[in-house]
A and B are shown apart, each in its own frame.
Chain A
């Protein structure tokens, strides 16, 4: 029987982190709120479950090639429009790559990983992203965070599958439904007891038994808890000694839903030594458990550790509510612009837009977008341009401004001209700028983002935006 491995992982958080104490202070008069310590990651207006999954997937993919992509989320922006297909475009993968979206509970990220590990069918990317809507005052709004995580599974790699197990139980700790789109939460004490005794204990015990391991053979855990303290109780009952790395995510960013345990796996692989066993568990209507054995050592702290440490603290509660859609500000007539997208235009250009694909002409010049007659003044007529992906090409600022007139849901609107190292130049929106306007010559990186939201028709388009190359550290050392 061929062995199955996790080949690589990725973890991504949006730039902003709400200071929970600032939110608690704003809500103190009401007695509502939720957790008061640590921070909650906050998606920009143009980030959703799909864009967060794409950014995490880029980190895992590197030079990997996969035969399939699974998008896992409980907050996918579309119910009918295949988002795994957009991920395939965004990563520049072939159009005949297998694609599937999965949902149903926040355990779906680990479910997809477990199935891909069990299934003996080549390399698969699992990309999870979550940006769950929630109501102000509900403790989940501060306990949850926005983010993405990913893993590539294949027949060789960094961590080998030792055992897996699953258990299904309709234990409704939280639900969101057609009729109640915002989460509705059950009493915590009831959930704690059910999750410990009827979900985690039997599932983890079954996986350990299959693996022929004792609990203290586990070096690191990435267990998604429905409420705090569950893992501690499970560990005490089973004799597990491994720290749960998901605690760090909860403190620095919040529960990331479908991406949470996978993010924990990314942290674990950055810390693990060869031979370490990692316990991975995703929770929601039961749980999926995977035990992995690390087969190649880590190069030290990587993107997941960095994602937790870097960002910009946010203490403006009103801005947080507005970004999350909980505060519907009247932005005035300039915001009334119609963002209707023509499906035929999208069908013609979508792959180039999602993949940031420009073209190289017969003289070697690279341009975006592609045009029948190349932009080069030396072009004599129509040419077939060769595809050139710009998403990962180094770039710098030619010109930029912070526009305070134009409508954007998170002013000001930064935009300017971007020069790519390969010669292409593109007018672009700049994101993840907090504070000073970028300067001419500054280095930039590309981020996959929502381009426009057509609120009238519930549609959105995606494109790439330029962002500063580095993020600041949240804690100054």
Chain B
């Protein structure tokens, strides 16, 4: 019987670039920037890295196919390097690869790096996909906000929440994250935004307004992982351990088969259930101290609070409006500003979330520090709610 990866791998060091419109910085420089910070944080030499995972989602936007862009950017000599892509969970997928390699004993030190250079597309939003494949013959070409906006109407219909109440709760999600992001020097957007501005913003996809949507940006984030023993050898006596990483992927149940009503994300429910079990978390509401979730759109964060079991079903809008997830609330969410303030360089986002949890666990989050943090959770959601994939990771202190 598999016992999971809990406490078998620790983070030796992490790095994260400033996210934003990095017009003057290419993908290679972004990778180097995140990597050098992680290397210095880990206190190791680059030659100690035995395997690496590159996460980048959009192969046609500047990074390129294969693992070669990473190995050439960092000049990694004669080690195995792998590129992974799993939509918006790509960064966490890269981390999972590196963690599994160390947990399996295949290597002692591994690197996970996620990067995306989206601003070179020359327009807002993600590039529309098209490959001339069979799905293009029937599948509607909706945008990401369009796909996630549909959660709102379905949520209102299921829970009888009035559209205006849901709109206010969504606006609070964004208001809260922009408050937090203003304190983060690495965030792309660092200005608080008023509720009035958020509520009055132009519509992008009904009922999501401009501030209900995260932007896109350039950025990279990186983790170096190793065994607890090696970390202790490096003088790290308060290591951040990987407690769980779980991924759940749609099989077509939501979009082609099930009784799914469109108001929640099943993959988040399944991935978090398994992650809690792997991490030994029995009561997430009391044990998890903070979350970094996939707030691509405000309504996504709202339903995610229920899907993670942190709010009762139908109650997330009210918990949000009550401030439960604000930085000073009972269970802060997006204490670093989230996707709303960092934007979403897809390959990097999962590792950027882990970077904040890691710093909070180590008490290094500066103005944003949330007292003592014992458990933090990251959550990525890729695709569309009807056809998605979800990654949930839990980080905490090493317990052995």
Contacts and interface: CB of A to CB of B under 8 A. Distances in A.
Interface of A: 332-334, 337-342, 345-346, 348-350, 353, 365, 367-369, 371, 375-377, 398-407, 412-413, 415-417, 424-429, 437, 439-441, 451-452, 461, 463
A369 B257 CA distance: 11
B146 A413 contact: yes
A18 to B, nearest CB: 26
A337 B204 CA distance: 20
B51 interface: no
Interface stretch (B150-158, B221-229, B335-343): B150-158
B130 A398 contact: no
A338, A406, A407, A424 — most chain B CB neighbours (10 Å):
A406
10 contacts: A333-B121, A367-B256, A371-B252, A375-B253, A401-B152, A405-B144, A405-B204, A425-B256, A437-B206, A461-B137
A240 B11 CA distance: 94
B381 interface: no
A358 to B, nearest CB: 9
Contacts of A401: 142, 146-147, 149-150, 152-153, 205-206, 208
A463 B143 CA distance: 19
B136 interface: yes
- 10 closest A-B pairs by CB: A403-B146, A399-B262, A399-B150, A406-B143, A401-B149, A440-B157, A415-B140, A375-B252, A429-B140, A405-B143
B72 to A, nearest CB: 28
Given A345-B132, A398-B261, A425 B142 contact: no
Contacts of A461: 136-137
Interface in B195-216: 203-206, 208
Nearest to B148: A401
Contacts of A429: 140
Interface string B211-254: 00000000000000000000000000000000000000001110
A405 B125 contact: yes
Contacts of A400: 150, 153
A230 to B, nearest CB: 45
B137 A349 contact: yes
B133 interface: yes
A403 B153 contact: no
Given A345-B137, A377-B257, A463-B137, A415 B142 contact: yes
B132 A342 contact: yes
Interface string B153-197: 110110000000000000000000000000000000000000000
Contact of B205 (A333, A346, A353, A403): A403
A443 to B, nearest CB: 15
Given A345-B132, A399-B151, A407-B141, 12 more contacts: A365-B257, A376-B257, A399-B262, A400-B150, A401-B153, A401-B205, A405-B144, A405-B205, A425-B256, A428-B140, A440-B157, A461-B136
B146 A406 contact: yes
A413 B137 contact: no
B123 interface: yes
A369 B256 CA distance: 8
A375 B134 contact: no
B128 interface: yes
Contact of B134 (A338, A339, A369, A441): A369
Given A337-B128, A425-B257, A403 B136 contact: no
A403 B157 contact: no
A458 to B, nearest CB: 15
B154 A415 contact: no
Contact of B153 (A337, A399, A415): A399
Contacts of A337: 128, 130, 141
A334 B137 contact: no
B256 A404 contact: no
B366 interface: no
B386 interface: yes
A375 B251 contact: yes
Nearest to B260: A398
A405 B137 contact: no
A450 to B, nearest CB: 12
B5 to A, nearest CB: 27
Contacts of B123: 332-334
Contact of A440 (B133, B144, B153): B153
Contacts of B137: 341, 345-346, 349-350, 353, 451, 461, 463
Contacts of B152: 401
